[in-house]
Structure 1
Amino acid sequence: MKTDRLLGIVIYLMNHQQTTAHELAKKFEVSIRTIKRDMETINLAGIPIRSVLGAHGGYSIEPRFTLNKQFVKRQEYMTIITALMGLQSSFHSKNF
């Protein structure tokens, strides 16, 4: 699903300083063009994406950007936890 991928990309970018479209396309199993469109969508959603051209370029989230924790309500946290527990059951290692 596109929404899941967009959220996954945002989380990935928040945990990595910079990554390339190729790395994201490989990780999320989509084309590089899809990643470029996703970056535009994420930027339009209000998350400032920085794009650097060149051999050492890639995508990153502006360093000063933080997510406001007040946007997520208790019920939404419970939904996220339930989803993660469901995902955990699909892996052999319970460390996830």
Structure 2
Amino acid sequence: MSEAGLLDVAAGVEDVTAAALGNTGLAAWCALSWRAGLQPGESVLVLGACGALGSVAVQAAKAQGASYVIAADREGSARSKPRSRAAWWQRQHIYLD
């Protein structure tokens, strides 16, 4: 692999954790681009947006040109606290029973 295909990992991140992060990103990206066929300007609903995969899916949707991302999570979820990932996106929770 060329150096252009490598990414730096933050200090203190274990190798096994760094390797697993690629799986989450690839799953989110493929779900949006291959399965859903996301086109620039479309809207995306991400269920479970506070989890690891959902959080990456929100970022992947924006990177693929989504104009509006709706993030939903279950009320009372351990991860249901808003966490801004980028300045362009303001999380508003939609709680599901």
Q: Could you tell me the TM-score, scaled by structure 1's length?
A: 0.29
Structure with the larger strand share:
2
The structure with the largest helix share of the pair is 1
